[in-house]
Amino acid sequence: MPRFEVTTRILAPPPRVFDVSLSVELHTASMARSGERAVGGVTSGQLAAGDRVTWEARHFGLRWRMTSLISACDPPAYFVDEQVAGPFRRWWHAHHFEDDGEGGTFMRDVIDFAAPLGPLGRVAEALVLRRHMEELIVLRNRHLKDVAERV
| Tens digits of residue pLDDT in 105-115 | 999 999 999 99
Cα torsion for 58, 63, 65, 66, to the nearest 10°? -40
Question: DSSP code of 101?
Answer: S
Cβ contact 2:129 at 8 Å: yes
Domains and CATH numbers, the chain: 3-150 (3.30.530.20)
pLDDT exceeds 90 at position 24? yes
pLDDT above 80 (res 1) = no
> How far apart, in Å, are the Cα atoms of 93 and each of 52, 61, 81, 119?
14, 24, 5, 23
Q: What is the pLDDT of residues 46-99, one digit of tens each?
A: 999 999 999 999 988 889 999 999 999 999 999 999 999 999 999 999 999 999
Alpha helices in 24-129 (DSSP H): 24-30, 118-124
At 96 the three-state DSSP class reads: strand
pLDDT tops 90 at residue 126: no
- 136 in Cβ contact with 31 (< 8 Å): yes
pLDDT at 151 over 80: no
Task: Check residue 56 and give its pLDDT.
Answer: 96
Residue count of the chain: 151
Coil, helix or strand for 74?
A: strand
Q: Count the neighbouring beta carbons within 10 Å of the beta carbon of residue 143.
A: 17
Give the pLDDT confidence score for residue 27 in this predicted structure: 95
pLDDT-derived band at 149 (thresholds 50, 70, 90) equals very high
